A and B are shown apart, each in its own frame.
Chain A
Amino acid sequence: MDVTHPELYGYLAEFKTPEDLVAAASRTREAGYRNVEAHSPMPVEGLAEAIGFRKTRIAAIVFTGGLLGGIGGFAMQYFASVMHYPLNVGGKPFNSWPAFIPVTFECTVLAAAFAAVIGMLFLNGLPRPYHPLFNVEEFSRASVDRFFLFIRWDDEKFDAEQTRTFLQGLNPESLSEVRP
């Protein structure tokens, strides 16, 4: 659903402070827009809620990753030391489970950390070097000191004229058309 529209990808409104952006995002959401995105140089509390984003699945992904890592780590040691090639090492039992805990723990953490990073990047659709927003000159300040609100063309309520007027009504510093 990304870049099929021929001319206009959406409108980008620029704001000076995070408070202005949160207020503008709330009003946009109240006006019935759903494909709203907000961009800020740092995380702004309440902004995700203002554009209607409530929950991430990251925690579940990390938990699953950790669980698989832990079970896998222990199973590997059990398989190696009890089933595949049992050896008498220092008279210890084959299934010397207390000695297996450190490796099991490290495998848990490693898998959970990979799940956190890869899960986050995957859900965010990163890496993605090109994005239509980067065509807008003002947007280069989105990572520095400016705050942006973006309405995408495929929103049900999106209308080239009306949306433009609506965004003007929010008193942005600047308003740009985004070309795909």
Chain B
Amino acid sequence: MALETNDRGRGAPAPEPVLGPGHDYTTVTDKIGSMVLTRGFRKEWLIGFALAFGLVNLFLVSVTWLLFNGTGVWGLQVPVMWGFAIINFVWWIGIGHAGTLISAILLLLRQEWRTSINRFAEAMTLFAVACAGMYPILHLGRPWVFYWLMPYPNTMGLWPQFRSPLVFDVFAVSTYATVSLLFWYIGLIPDLATMRDRAKNRIAKVLYGIGSMGWRGSARHWSRYQMAYLLLAGLSTPLVVSVHSIVSFDFSVGIVPGWHTTIFPPYFVAGAVFAGFAMVLTLAIPMRHLYKLHDFITDKHLDNMAKVMLTTGLIVAYGYLMEDFIAWYGENEYEHFMMLENRPFGPYRWFYWGLILCNVIAPQFLWFRPFRRNVYLLWIISMFVNVGMWLERFVIIVVSLSRDFVPAAWEHYTATFWDWSLYLGTIGVFLSLMFLFIRILPAISITEMKELVHEQHHHAGRQGDGQGHGDHGESHS
């Protein structure tokens, strides 16, 4: 019944607020500022950071061992030359995409519920891209000559080979990292000015002052700022679609059965958004609990994110279905073998069925409101998706490579300790950066929350029946 009222009338005000009641400019600033501008550390933060930092050390050990001994320390062998490194590269870069979706695409669609999660999701993008960006270098046999992938005039007269998707990757990932960083930093400037003006500590004041570049909230500045921000959102939207499409070209441009599939670009993008929203939920639910952010990250936000996850999950499920259908319909015996025999019944069948369980079956619970409203169930489902999307990349990459055209070149791939340690290590790098971010920078955009406060006040003032409206909203939560 509540859903029915929700859907009634497009022009009607949203019945459920995206900001808790009773907030004004000062309380919003204080609440978000107090996450950063306090002395000392929370116990939970210290424990979490210590664990994550332990994994950073594992990362450093794994990289050292890898650079010292070469990629032979991994479980790669001749038919399967792409293993964990590429799986994790695609997995991490996919996770990054939800941040851009939340900050850019939802801005263009004027979805105001994005305001309290965008900063956090953008930070997640940056750190996920930082983890992803290391793999294309580390998985090179000779990583010290990685700069040959860049176009620069050199005494050898050589250029990168611009027909390879791996060269596209260099441009796509470096552009994505740079533009995401710029977008995130531009969004931070007014908030850093707020931090500068609120900080009591002299050093903090100076550091935030440097970061804020002397921002003083002038109306002319805001006007240019908003235009630049909007244009960056407009640029990031095709960018995010292109980046994961280009990542999918790494496979779809190849001739390997299971790879050479035209559906990959949109299906990889949908999978990236799916995985990314799962990771946003995985991180936002504990953070909201720990920092008591229920007024800002409301149940409505979690509900909406779950719906986006369900939508993209269905696109991904459609992708699986189409791969199988075309294998049957196309009558290419290699593709038929790959999709309809090797994946579901071959030596890696449990990876495939795990993937179906995690990505196709688990998200179906999100159709039901009680599952979207229960943070514990939602968190469990998002963990399923995180694992499922990792399995998807494993199935596409390893399962396709291990048994392709020539049966004499079939080989089983098993990951070694160093594959796992590097993967766990990047998780540590990601989480450490997230912990530092939450401690040092405002995790929620103060400026945009104030715009929300302003809109609500304005709205309440114009309606003149704010009380009745409030009651209406109450009945749904």
Q: Is chain B a partner of chain A in the same complex?
A: yes
A37 touches B220 (CB 8 A): yes
- Which of B41-49, B64-72, B190-198, B305-313 lines the interface with chain A? B190-198
* A-chain residues with CB within 8 Å of residue B448 when the two chains form the complex: 42
A144 touches B214 (CB 8 A): no
B225 contacts chain A at the CB level, 8 A cutoff: yes
What's the minimum C-beta distance from A144 to chain B, rounded to whole angstroms?
Answer: 5
Out of A38, A56, A120, A143, which one reaches B193, CB within 8 Å? Answer: A143
* Interface-centre pick from B183, B193, B194, B224 (highest chain A CB count, 10 A): B224
B214 touches A127 (CB 8 A): yes
- Which of B231-239, B267-275, B287-295, B385-393 lines the interface with chain A? B231-239
Name which residue of chain A comes closest to B176, CB basis: A106
With A81-B159, A102-B168 as contacts: A119 and B228 at CB distance below 8 Å: yes
Out of B162, B213, B223, which one reaches A77, CB within 8 Å? Answer: B162
For the side of the interface on A, what is the size category?
35 or more
B161 touches A113 (CB 8 A): no
B13 contacts chain A at the CB level, 8 A cutoff: no
B182 contacts chain A at the CB level, 8 A cutoff: yes
Within A130-164, the residues touching B (CB, 8 Å) are 130-131, 133-134, 139-145
Within B188-236, the residues touching A (CB, 8 Å) are 190, 193-194, 196-198, 209-210, 213-228, 231-232, 235-236
With A102-B172, A105-B242, A109-B235 as contacts: A145 and B29 at CB distance below 8 Å: yes
A39 touches B218 (CB 8 A): yes
- Chain B count of residues within 8 A CB distance of the other chain: 62
B26 contacts chain A at the CB level, 8 A cutoff: yes
B24 contacts chain A at the CB level, 8 A cutoff: yes
* B-chain residues with CB within 8 Å of residue A87 when the two chains form the complex: 161
* A-chain residues with CB within 8 Å of residue B235 when the two chains form the complex: 62, 66, 109, 112-113, 116
A40 contacts chain B at the CB level, 8 A cutoff: yes
* C-alpha gap A92/B162 in the complex (Å): 11
Name which residue of chain A comes closest to B246, CB basis: A102
B163 touches A89 (CB 8 A): yes
Out of B159, B168, B225, which one reaches A43, CB within 8 Å? Answer: B225
* C-alpha gap A124/B196 in the complex (Å): 19
A128 touches B217 (CB 8 A): no
Within A104-126, the residues touching B (CB, 8 Å) are 105-107, 109-110, 112-114, 116-117, 119-121, 123-124, 126
What's the minimum C-beta distance from A178 to chain B, rounded to whole angstroms?
Answer: 12
Out of B182, B217, B451, which one reaches A117, CB within 8 Å? Answer: B182
Out of B25, B165, B175, which one reaches A41, CB within 8 Å? Answer: B25
With A56-B227, A58-B231, A116-B228 as contacts: A142 and B246 at CB distance below 8 Å: no
* A-chain residues with CB within 8 Å of residue B231 when the two chains form the complex: 58-59, 62, 112, 116
B218 touches A128 (CB 8 A): no
* B-chain residues with CB within 8 Å of residue A53 when the two chains form the complex: 219-220, 223
B158 contacts chain A at the CB level, 8 A cutoff: yes
Name which residue of chain B comes closest to A93, CB basis: B163
B284 contacts chain A at the CB level, 8 A cutoff: no
Within B158-180, the residues touching A (CB, 8 Å) are 158-163, 165, 167-168, 171-172, 175, 178-179
B197 touches A143 (CB 8 A): yes
What's the minimum C-beta distance from B220 to chain A, rounded to whole angstroms?
Answer: 5
* C-alpha gap A87/B156 in the complex (Å): 14
What's the minimum C-beta distance from A123 to chain B, rounded to whole angstroms?
Answer: 5
* B-chain residues with CB within 8 Å of residue A43 when the two chains form the complex: 222-223, 225-226, 447, 451
Name which residue of chain B comes closest to A102, CB basis: B168
Within A30-80, the residues touching B (CB, 8 Å) are 37-44, 47-48, 50-51, 53, 56, 58-59, 62, 66, 76-77, 80
* C-alpha gap A89/B158 in the complex (Å): 14
* Interface-centre pick from A43, A66, A76, A120 (highest chain B CB count, 10 A): A43
The 10 closest A-B pairs by CB, nearest first: A127-B213, A145-B25, A80-B159, A120-B228, A128-B214, A106-B171, A42-B450, A38-B219, A48-B223, A99-B163
11 example contacts (A-B, Cβ-Cβ < 8 A) are as follows A40-B222, A42-B451, A80-B162, A89-B163, A99-B163, A110-B178, A123-B224, A129-B210, A129-B213, A139-B216, A142-B217
